Structure 1
Amino acid sequence: MSASSPKNPDQVAEFEQSLDELEQLVTRMEESEMGLDDSLKSFERGVALYRSCQSALEQAELRVKQLLDPTKPETAEPFDPDTP
């Protein structure tokens, strides 16, 4: 496994973009009085962004564990950089 993958910069940029959008969404929801429909749509989008960010963080954590100690069975799961 190489230290850098061609997909890595894109994944980092996608994570940062999702996190930024999530922060902006939360700010808009806190600062405005949205109708029920808009609030639900914003909440749904926020949940999707949260899940995307959480998945990216879990993949990064797994990769760090594999890099630190690839001999441990609990971290020997195959790393898939394309998994969101």
Structure 2
Amino acid sequence: MPKTAVQPNQIAQFEQSLDELEKLVARMEEGDLSLDDSLKSFERGIALYRGCQTALEQAELRVKLLYDPANPDDDRSGAGDFKFDAP
């Protein structure tokens, strides 16, 4: 399978990361964390966000490859219009 293909465990990992990120944000919004815990949570959140962003980029590439395997850089598929909006 090509390196850019999204495998089922990658999808599950994305969903788990997104769920953990949402929980981290909720805990931080409560305002009950110490400064140290807030910084650790923020650092973990950034790592989760980057992992999710990478997974989304890989999924976008897969859509492009499925749309036109000969020319995956062609944005006529509309896949390039997808933007991840964090809640």
Specify the TM-score bucket, using the shorter chain as the normaliser: 0.7 to 0.9
Runs of 4+ with deviation above 6 angstroms: none
Q: Any gaps of 5 or more consecutive residues in structure 1?
A: 76-84
Shift in Å, 1:32? 2.9
Distance 2:73 2:67 in 1: 12
Normalised TM-score (structure 2): 0.74
Q: Give the structure 1 partner of residue 42 of structure 2.
A: 43
Q: Give the structure 1 partner of residue 85 of structure 2.
A: none
Q: Give the structure 2 partner of residue 53 of structure 1.
A: 52
Q: Any gaps of 5 or more consecutive residues in structure 2?
A: 75-87
Distance 2:25 2:34 in 1: 15
Amino acid at match of 1:47: I
Distance 2:18 2:66 in 1: 25
Residue 21 of structure 2 contacts residue 49 of structure 2 at CA under 8 Å; is this kept in 1? yes
Aligned-residue Cα RMSD (Å) equals: 2.0
Deviations 1:11-57 (A, max 9, x none): 11100000000000000000132111111000000000000000000
Amino acid at match of 1:72: N
Change (3 A) 1:73 1:34: closer
Amino acid at match of 2:8: P
Residue 28 of structure 2 contacts residue 38 of structure 2 at CA under 8 Å; is this kept in 1? yes
Identical positions, percent: 69
| Matched positions, count | 72
Normalised TM-score (structure 1): 0.76
